Structure 1
Amino acid sequence: MPKTQLNVRVDADTARAARERAVARGMSVNRYIEELVRRDAGEQGRMFVDAAADFMQRYETVFAEEFGPETEGRRRPVE
């Protein structure tokens, strides 16, 4: 995948922390930042799935009362 240059400004402490953490992991600051962003993007997806699962668990009885187990996985006919 081709690379795109992204310039960001951070304070000196943040820059130093990024360099130190990258060195501790044996990688470049660029790769360290890439991995942080990828991990954060993945976290958003996981948060959505977790929230959806929580919603379904909380309202499972409401859905069961409305649609019943015999209609599980099927749409209810429009009346």
Structure 2
Amino acid sequence: MAKTQLNVRVEEGTARAARERALAQGVSVNRYIEDLVRRDAGEQGRTFVDAAADFMKQYESVFAEEFGTDTEGRRRPVE
């Protein structure tokens, strides 16, 4: 995958913490920041899926009443 340069300005304490944490993990600061962003983006995806699952659980009876289910809880075909 192609790389692009991203310049950011952060407080010195933030930069120091990033350097220290990258060193502790044995990775470059670039890799450390890239991993943080990937984890954050993934977390948002998980948050969405979790919220959708909660919604479905909360309204399970409404869906079952509206669409019906088979004996294993799956939606029955519309007749």
Aligned residues: 76
5+ residue gaps in structure 1?
Answer: none
Q: Which amino acid aligns with 1:63?
A: F
C-alpha distance in 2 between matches for 1:36 and 1:73 = 43
Identity of aligned residues (%): 74
Cα displacement string for residues 10-59 of structure 1 (whole angstroms, at most 9, x for unaligned residues): 00110000000000000100000000001111111111110110000000
Counterpart of 2:28 in structure 1: which amino acid?
A: S
Corresponding residue of 1:11: 11
Residue 21 of structure 1: aligned partner: 21
Task: Show structure 2 runs of 5+ residues with no match.
Answer: none
1:4–1:67 Cα change, 3 Å: same
- 1:41 equivalenced with 2:45 (yes/no): no
**Number of the residue aligned with 1:72:** 75
Divergent runs of 4+, >4 A: none
Structure 1 counterpart of 2:66, which letter? E
- Normalising by the residue count of structure 1, what TM-score does the alignment of the two structures yield? 0.88
Distance 1:41 1:73 in 2: 36
Cα distance change of structure 1 residues 73 and 47 upon mapping to structure 2, 3 Å threshold: farther
